Amino acid sequence: MEQLAVKVATCLALADPWLSLSTKPFDYSAAFSKQGGAAAGAVAAAAMAARPESVLELTFQRGAVSAWMQQPATAGAAAVAAATKAHVPEGVLEGLAGLAARLHGLMDALAVAGGADPGGAAAADPDAAATAATADGPVPAEALDVGVSVAAAAAVTAGAVRPEWTSALSSKPQRMLRLDSLPQVRCAVYTAYAAALRQAAWQRVADAISPSPSPSSGDAGPLAAPAGAGSSAGGGEGGGGGAAAGGGSAAGGGDAAGVVAALTAAVAGLRRAAGVYEWLGSELLPALSGAAPAQGDVPLELLPAAARCMAALCGAEGQALMAAAAEARGMSPGARRALHGGCVTLLKGAEAAAGEVAAAAGATAGAGVSERLLRLRAAGGALHAAAACYCLALERQKELELGEAEAAAEECRRLLEAGLRRLDRSDPPAWADSFRALQAAAAQLAAAAHKDRLAVTYQPLPKQPPDAAANAAVRVTPERFKPAPVRPPPPPAEAAGSKGGCAVM
């Protein structure tokens, strides 16, 4: 029965938001130099905001991250490259978080150099900017008001900072799209960080339930990556990293306690990912309204609704893993039913946000939303609604309410049949396997309830199946994310006050 619970939980494992996300190296030094075609205002602002070596360091850091995120170029190496990328090492998480923090700090420094009113947190702590400005190296500092920082940085870097990224949530994830400003780049890096956190959480589950390494099946799911790659990824900031690493190794040998530990650690990782997505959708991305290019070639990840959609999906995935852990711990069917009902609630929110993304994509000339992503919402909702009905049938069977037990089991089978029809042949085989495994269990339960109902209790079938969604509980909430910018060290006084020439180069 524990295997069935894990199958239902891992049906939501979709690695496309990470595996299909890619970017190319970009030279920030050239973007802030006359030789690179930057406007005089951008050159002067960079000269007052940061030292040349700080901008050059951003270029090197981005190059390292880009090398890891590059999509496989040839078909022969695609499976191996995808399996390698699916196992997110801790260094990649730290690299993405560090790059985002430095981009954040550079944006704030550009805003301050341009005479912007700090506002926000900086107004409450005026010493923070002074601390960053007098340091010899990059140091964390209080963030400026997000609207002030984005507006100032976009005004300076629009048309100058134009790296290329793919849109993993679109129907054409291989297509490179050009961003338009530094704030958009910062949003893209934070999106990659959230996607990497989510992927690392799922990889922990894959390591826990895979007793031996297996070759990638090419279904673009995290469970297809080899389990022997040995990673403690997904820790990011916050606790839980060590417990997950130990849990994964213990669970790889089939230890139930290790599986529960890995599931719990994965839930924590998904909560962190949901927190980053939620912060993007509620704070950073709405501030981009005046910075996005007018054309249709905009990565869907720059839409606030896309971040809200992914935040809700991460919550639903964490709730599903929590339900699997509850069954492994021997919790009652009623408690598991409430958790599955919470999954349905969260997936409905994700589906509504995905509809907003689809509407925004349809209003532009760019690519539409990934069809697999849309199918995931609908099929996942049907699967967890069916799982809730299955748990309700177990409840009623235990209470000898066999008429309602049989009706709930039959409703479970109906929902699963409808969900299977939503799947496509191109979807990962694990999705259909999860449906069929629960179908077999529901058929067995319905047959047992029918036999006992006719032979023992003589109870009639209810006219309507019992409501399995009653008392649904959402237990997984996003972990609050508050980024800390890393300000670049200020340029020497003579460089900041110089006029003309190329201050960066």
Q: What is the pLDDT of residue 186?
A: 96
Terminal CA-CA length for the chain: 64
**% the chain with pLDDT above 70:** 77
Q: What is the pLDDT of residue 86?
A: 82
165 bridge partner residues: 23, 177
User: Domains of the chain (ranges plus CATH)?
Assistant: 2-330+476-497 (no CATH), 331-474 (1.25.40.280)
> In terms of DSSP bridges, do strands 164-166 and 176-178 run parallel, antiparallel, or are they unpaired?
antiparallel
H helices, E strands: number in the chain = 19, 4
**139-167 pLDDT tens trace:** 555 678 888 899 888 888 888 888 999 99
Q: What is the pLDDT of residue 128?
A: 40
Q: What is the pLDDT of residue 37?
A: 66
Residues in the chain: 505
Residues of the chain with pLDDT under 70: 1-2, 12, 36-37, 71-83, 115-142, 211-254, 290-296, 364-366, 493-505
Q: What is the pLDDT of residue 194?
A: 98
Instruction: Residue 17: name the closest of 241, 320, 276, 403 by CA.
Output: 276
Q: What is the pLDDT of residue 388?
A: 96
Q: What is the pTM of this model?
A: 0.84
**% the chain with pLDDT above 90:** 49
Radius of gyration for the chain, computed over Cα atoms and rounded to the nearest angstrom: 25
Neighbour count for residue 296 (Cβ, 10 Å): 12
Q: What is the pLDDT of residue 253?
A: 42
H-helix or E-strand spanning residue 340: helix 333-362
Q: What is the pLDDT of residue 368?
A: 86
C-alpha–C-alpha distance, residues 360 and 357, integer Å: 5
**37-74 pLDDT tens trace:** 677 777 788 888 888 898 889 999 999 989 888 755 43
In 3-state terms, what secondary structure has residue 495?
helix
Longest dimension (CA), the chain: 95
